[in-house]
Structure 1
Amino acid sequence: MRGTAFDLPKTELNGTFGQINTRAQDKNLSVSQTISPFQIGARRKVLMENVKAGELRLSQTRQEVTYSIRQSWNTMLYYMELNKVLEEQNKLMQQFVRSAELKFQTGETGSLENTTAKAKQQELQQQIKRNNALIEAEKLRLKALLQLDGDVIVSGTEQYTASVFATLQDSTALRQNSTLLLAEQQVNVAKAERRAEGSLLMPDLTAGYFIQSLTGNQDFNGVSTYYDNTLRFQGFSVGISVPLFWGASSARVKAAKTNIEVQQANAAYTRTQLVSSFEQEKKQLETFRSMLEYYTGTALPNANTISGNATKAYQNGDISYVEYVQGLETALAIRINYIDAINNYNQAVINLQYLLNL
């Protein structure tokens, strides 16, 4: 659209024929062009500011797509990691089922322990199926986002770990956020539109050329000469158009001024919202980082100890199946909470990357 800045009105061609000057038949041909010199620069400024706004919209879309891809990828790995833990738990439950069946067949225990073991294992299998469905959903989402022809295949060596991210101390880097840049650019667009509306109050210029016939005798330097109706007499015209009735244009200028104030308020609001979101996400990140340190340093080793000791104790007959199941579920809950902590931490990182346009 930048090429439309120099947009002149249509060139006017006129022809007049008949008894123009005398009873003789004459003709007059003219061409004229109107130009609005003050509007050309103002229109070009509006177009250039809109070009910048369009580029920022492209950057904003790219930022949002990147955010969606990161979110979907993290969610997919999260459910895959959950299934790894559930599969390990399922193996323990399979051993529990075999042991419970053997005890039931030998009459050592009643049917309650056997039924409980099978119910717990079936519950795990349903959770795994549910997570597999969610994994496939995220793969389809990634396929659409990346516009892939084939399926999304995750490497078997892919590990679900906390993302490496250095927390920034202040929000100055938010200046690179496309949403904020676009909101600020809309102020520039509004100012350019205000100038464009104001240029409508400036005069327009018109220039023209004409050629005509004057049939009859013409005296020039005391000599009388007869001219037929051939086009031979020519000249030019100039004109200026001024807005005498400027009420409507003045109202549009006032509306454009109001729009500047609206866009400035919107930019300030966007900046405030982004700063607030940045501070919240930064605090969330520190909280989840502390939780990860707790789980890796204390909780996970305890979970492994609980699971291992409970299995040995149950196999040796030192504890009942109720205590065994409680031990396994406690260890499982710790491991799942650890994976949730990684997920929450990574989500905070993804949100900060989006806010900082990284």
Structure 2
Amino acid sequence: MKIRILIGLLFPAIAMAQSQALTMETAVQLALQQNKGLKSADASVGYYQKMVATSGEIPKTDISLQYGQYNSYVSNDNHYTITQTIPFPSLFGARRELNNAQVDKAVWQKAATRNELVYQVKQVYIELLYLREVRELILRQDTIFTGFLRSADLRYRTGESKMLEKTAAEGRLNEVRNALRQNEADLKIYTARLQALLGSNTPVTITETAIPEANLSLLNDSAAIAANPQLQYLKQQITIAEKQKKVLKAAILPDIMVGYFNQSLIGTPLNASGSPLATGSNRFQGFQVGLALPLWLGPLKAKVRAEEKQQQAASLQFDNNKIQLQSQYEQAVQQFIKNRNSLEFYEHTSLPNTELLLKQSEKSYSSGDIGYAEYLLNLEHGLTARQGYLQARSDVKQAELYMAFLVGKQ
């Protein structure tokens, strides 16, 4: 471990080369290839696809032997029986429909997992871009307040100001450097999150340098959430309950039983005259046909009624989630509009005024036209505006990603 750390310190380029440099799109593609949760959902689809072949399952064949004195005092009579119970044919079709519905459910579950994974990867990636831009802003603050401290120290040593100005400058610079340490920690946290989402054992880095602009066109609210895979998954639960009810109804129908027997009847006359008599080599055979009828229908019908309640519960859950999802989408649209308006304010009004204010304040402070309190206040106002601008850009993009997640179009 110490050797690795030493190599990383002495040869940073080598250490950087060992990490994966990713754009947002390549990060998404890598996550879709490697994420264990998505692979689990894919395996679940495969499981239900294999289960379709079990739709025609029938009970095991019963093969039995009867041996001994079942016909006479002869002790070596034998009787072979083969019987097979077959469910009523309509049960096979009901099972297949249920298994196919289970496949569709697993497919929608995988789609929902994929949709959420893509959203999370993009969300974390944008957060990393935001933290990087914040870091640049903090470094700029460090430069500004380092210069402020230098000027304050010079003014104090020349007797132009009191210790209070220098102390205020030192305190503000320490706050900036503490914010820089927190920012570095946040970058490591979100990088670790991104690596976990990618399912990668290799450290990752991002290559993009700025938050991309949001370009989402607002969709029609009434139809926007129709393609949401989680909603489709819940809708499929209703279908599954319906198919399960059909299976339970078909299970009430009689089972068909067919059989074949082959036996010896040693000592039995072979004809009407009474001679000759059957020996062990003489075989007697026949077949059986029957029905297995449910004599107690109450429990079977209760299962059907219970499944009707299950279908009703699934339908209500779907309706509730549809209402909630619709509300979330409408809120997301308003949040997107609010964040976009805020961004436009910063771009067209706040930032141009801020840049002018900072330049004039720096000149006025250097020339002694304004004191440190007014200069510090102007600095704080300008830096707050820049911080708000970065936050607005991040919020707009995050709102766009959330809307795309809700409509299932990442």
- Whether 1:9 aligns to 2:59 is yes
CA contact (8 A) 1:78 1:339 kept: yes
Aligned partner of 1:132 among 180, 184, 205: 184
Q: 1:145 & 1:231 partners in 2: Cα distance?
A: 74
Aligned partner of 1:202 among 249, 253, 257: 253
- The residue aligned with 1:317 is 368
Aligned partner of 1:261 among 300, 312, 324: 312
Superposed CA RMSD: 1.7
Cα 1:91–1:22, aligned 2, differ >3 Å: closer, same or farther?
Answer: same
- The residue aligned with 2:124 is 72
CA contact (8 A) 1:60 1:179 kept: yes
Cα 1:313–1:221, aligned 2, differ >3 Å: closer, same or farther?
Answer: same
Q: 2:233 & 2:343 partners in 1: Cα distance?
A: 37
CA contact (8 A) 2:221 2:326 kept: no
> For 1:30, what is the secondary structure of its paired residue?
strand
1:171-201 deviation line (CA, Å, top 9, x unaligned) = 4132221110100000011111111111221
More displaced stretch, 111-120 vs 226-235: 226-235
- Whether 1:191 aligns to 2:271 is no
- The residue aligned with 1:347 is 398
1:277-327 deviation line (CA, Å, top 9, x unaligned) = 111101111111111111111111011011111001101111011110011
Following TM superposition, by how much is the alpha carbon of 1:63 offset from its aligned partner in structure 2, in angstroms? 1.4
Give the alignment of 1:164-183 within 5 angstroms. Answer: 164-183=215-234
CA contact (8 A) 2:270 2:278 kept: no
- Whether 1:47 aligns to 2:99 is yes
Following TM superposition, by how much is the alpha carbon of 1:217 offset from its aligned partner in structure 2, in angstroms? 5.1
Following TM superposition, by how much is the alpha carbon of 1:204 offset from its aligned partner in structure 2, in angstroms? 0.1
CA contact (8 A) 1:211 1:232 kept: yes
More displaced stretch, 213-222 vs 75-84: 213-222
1:210-247 deviation line (CA, Å, top 9, x unaligned) = 11112235354879443212252111111101111111
- The residue aligned with 2:343 is 292
1:78-126 deviation line (CA, Å, top 9, x unaligned) = 1111121121122111111111111111111111111111111111111
Q: 1:161 & 1:126 partners in 2: Cα distance?
A: 28
Following TM superposition, by how much is the alpha carbon of 1:39 offset from its aligned partner in structure 2, in angstroms? 2.5
Cα 1:171–1:348, aligned 2, differ >3 Å: closer, same or farther?
Answer: farther
Q: 1:172 & 1:239 partners in 2: Cα distance?
A: 55
Following TM superposition, by how much is the alpha carbon of 1:45 offset from its aligned partner in structure 2, in angstroms? 2.1
What TM-score do the two structures reach when normalised by structure 1? 0.95
Q: 2:394 & 2:250 partners in 1: Cα distance?
A: 56
> For 2:252, what is the secondary structure of its paired residue?
coil
Structure 1: runs of 5+ lacking an equivalent: none
- The residue aligned with 2:210 is 159
Q: 1:231 & 1:218 partners in 2: Cα distance?
A: 11
More displaced stretch, 22-31 vs 75-84: 22-31
Aligned partner of 1:275 among 319, 326, 332: 326
Partner amino acid for 1:226?
L
CA contact (8 A) 1:191 1:260 kept: yes
- The residue aligned with 1:95 is 147
Q: 2:211 & 2:158 partners in 1: Cα distance?
A: 44
